[in-house]
Amino acid sequence: MQAKPQVTLQEFQNLDLRVGKILEVEAIRGSKKLYKIKVDLGELGKRQTVAGLAPYYEAGELIGKKVVFLTNLKPARLAGELSEGMILAAESNGKVSLLTTDGEIPEGARIL
């Protein structure tokens, strides 16, 4: 896979990345890959997202995880469900791992 084009610091700073806590996870009927996930973003409130994590995580093991969440992604409908942001994850050789924090930090904390 080729590297993506470089971005400026200003372009990167336009991304609003926050710590979110996964509150609810629900399989989307008719999809083997997608979950509907509710995330607590502290002062920003709760958001719903749709994520293709079902092949990699059981719904119950996601609940309570603190993740990195992109809050200012334009909302979209996926499999008929509203997705209001994106949970970030890394992938290598078919394995997926969520991006998390290494210490206790509150929901809504800004990723710098």
Q: Is residue 12 part of a domain?
A: no
Residue span of the structural domain in which 93 resides: 18-98
Supply the pTM of this predicted model: 0.93
Q: Is residue 10 part of a domain?
A: no
Chain CA centroid to CA 74, Å: 13
Q: Is residue 76 part of a domain?
A: yes
To the nearest whole number, what is the mean pLDDT of the chain? 96
Which pLDDT score is estimated for 96?
A: 97
Backbone phi, psi, residue 33, to 5°: -110, -30
pLDDT tens per residue across span 22-65: 999 999 999 999 999 999 999 999 999 999 999 999 999 999 99
Return the CATH number at 28.
2.40.50.140
Domain count, the chain: 1
Q: Is residue 3 part of a domain?
A: no
Which pLDDT score is estimated for 2?
A: 84
Q: Is residue 83 part of a domain?
A: yes
